[in-house]
């Protein structure tokens, strides 16, 4: 029996209205500020790195590649650190945010590792005469890149999400320990043949060169943060979208079974 009272607004209607107004993007006021800051810092880096700072006494202008190479290598390790810690936390707490963080850290670490290898290689060409030297840092970074590719490959597998996340988490947990062991072994091995490492960070480094390097760290840090936030949100939305797909499929199955004239179809999962 129906009444003629006007319908009462559903609970949380005000919140739903606010939700509907949210734009369909992973951006937010915070990331816009972050992005703007990153652009400013990058502009400063270009200024200091390419214009203001002088060429090195030994390396000449190729030292300018170091203002990218060193920060990139640093944030590569930071990304790996995020993946390992997030993997550990996921194994303990099983909340999806940690899983998303692990995925984000690894993918961004991969981007930075490619930059590290690329700039290191381009630096090596004029300095050592070859694009690749088996020095400790490049070699370790190459191995690390392979590990990251493997980790991301594991993440893309067709598995039920819980199993996939568990396996990825175990692999991610081992990432930093593996990196440490590989780096130590490679350094020890290469020290038998080479005395120097790729970058001799001279403590008496010329003032503006040091400033350029610092600006590099800041710029890359902001870029890293911006990328991380967006990639994290993407991973987060991905999980939600998967969940929605699953719900939709289940709802369709239920609807099928309830319909009186539903044909006997055997849907194999």
Partner 1 sequence: MTHAGYVAAGWIGAGVLIGGYAVTLVRRGRRLARQVPPGERRWS
Partner 2 sequence: MWRDAALVAGRDLRIEARSRVTVHQVAPFALLVLVLFAFALDPARSILERATPGLYWITVLFSALLALSRSAALDETAGARDALRLSGLDPSGVFVGKSLAVAAELVVLEVLLGVGVIVLYGAEPAGVGLLAATCLAATVAVAATGTLYGALVSGLRVRETLLPLLLLPVLAPVLIGATRAFEAALGRAPADGWPWCGLLAAFAVLYSVAGALAYGTLLEGS
* Binding stretches for partner 2 (CB under 8 A): 91, 143-144, 146-147, 149-150, 153-154, 157, 159, 162-163, 166-167, 170-171, 173-174, 177-178, 181-182, 184-186, 188-189, 192
The partner in contact with residue 213, picked from partner 1, partner 2, none with C-beta cut-offs of 5 to 8 angstroms by kind, is none
41 binds partner 1 (CB under 8 A): no
Please answer whether residues 170 and 149 qualify as being in contact, where contact means their C-beta atoms are separated by less than 8 angstroms. no
* Structure tokens given for 9: 């607004």
Smallest CA-to-CA distance from 165 within 148, 173, 241, 112 is with 173
Minimal distance, residue 84 CB to partner 2, in Å: 13
d(C-alpha 180, C-alpha 120), whole Å: 20
d(C-alpha 213, C-alpha 176), whole Å: 25
What sign does the dihedral 205-210-213-217 (CA atoms) show? positive
Strand-pairing partners, residue 60, are 56
The partner in contact with residue 192, picked from partner 1, partner 2, none with C-beta cut-offs of 5 to 8 angstroms by kind, is partner 2
Binder among 62, 74, 178, 185 for partner 1 (CB under 8 A): 62
40 binds partner 1 (CB under 8 A): no
149 binds partner 1 (CB under 8 A): no
Please answer whether residues 165 and 91 qualify as being in contact, where contact means their C-beta atoms are separated by less than 8 angstroms. no
* Residue 127 parent element (H or E): helix 96-128
| Sites of contact with partner 1 (CB under 8 A) | 15-16, 19-30, 46, 49-50, 55, 60-62, 64-65, 68-69, 72, 111, 114-115, 118-119, 122-123, 125-126, 223, 226-227, 230-231, 233-234, 237-238, 240-241, 244
């Amino acid at each position: 029996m129906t009444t003629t009272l006007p319908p009462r607004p559903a609970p949380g209607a005000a919140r739903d209205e606010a939700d509907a107004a949210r734009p369909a993007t992973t951006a937010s006021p915070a990331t816009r500020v972050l992005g703007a800051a990153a652009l400013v810092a990058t502009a400063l880096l270009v200024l200091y790195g390419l214009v203001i700072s002088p060429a090195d006494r030994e390396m000449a202008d190729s030292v300018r590649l170091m203002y990218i190479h060193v920060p990139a290598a640093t944030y590569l390790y930071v990304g790996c650190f995020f993946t390992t810690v997030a993997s550990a936390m996921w194994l303990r707490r099983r909340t999806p945010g940690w899983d998303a963080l692990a995925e984000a850290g690894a993918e961004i670490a991969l981007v930075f590792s490619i930059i590290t290898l690329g700039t290191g290689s381009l630096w090596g060409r004029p300095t050592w005469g070859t694009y690749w030297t088996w020095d400790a840092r490049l070699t370790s970074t190459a191995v690390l890149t392979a590990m990251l590719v493997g980790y991301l490959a594991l993440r893309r597998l067709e598995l039920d999400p819980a199993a996939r996340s568990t396996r990825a988490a175990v692999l991610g947990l081992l990432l930093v320990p593996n990196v440490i062991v590989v780096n130590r072994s490679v350094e020890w091995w290469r020290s038998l043949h080479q005395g120097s490492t790729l970058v001799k960070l001279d403590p008496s480094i010329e003032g503006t060169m040091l400033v350029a390097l610092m600006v590099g760290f800041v710029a890359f840090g902001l870029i890293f943060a911006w990328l991380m936030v967006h990639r994290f949100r993407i991973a987060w939305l991905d999980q939600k979208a998967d969940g929605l797909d699953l719900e939709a499929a289940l709802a369709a199955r239920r609807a099928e079974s309830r319909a009186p004239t539903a044909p006997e179809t055997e849907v194999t999962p």
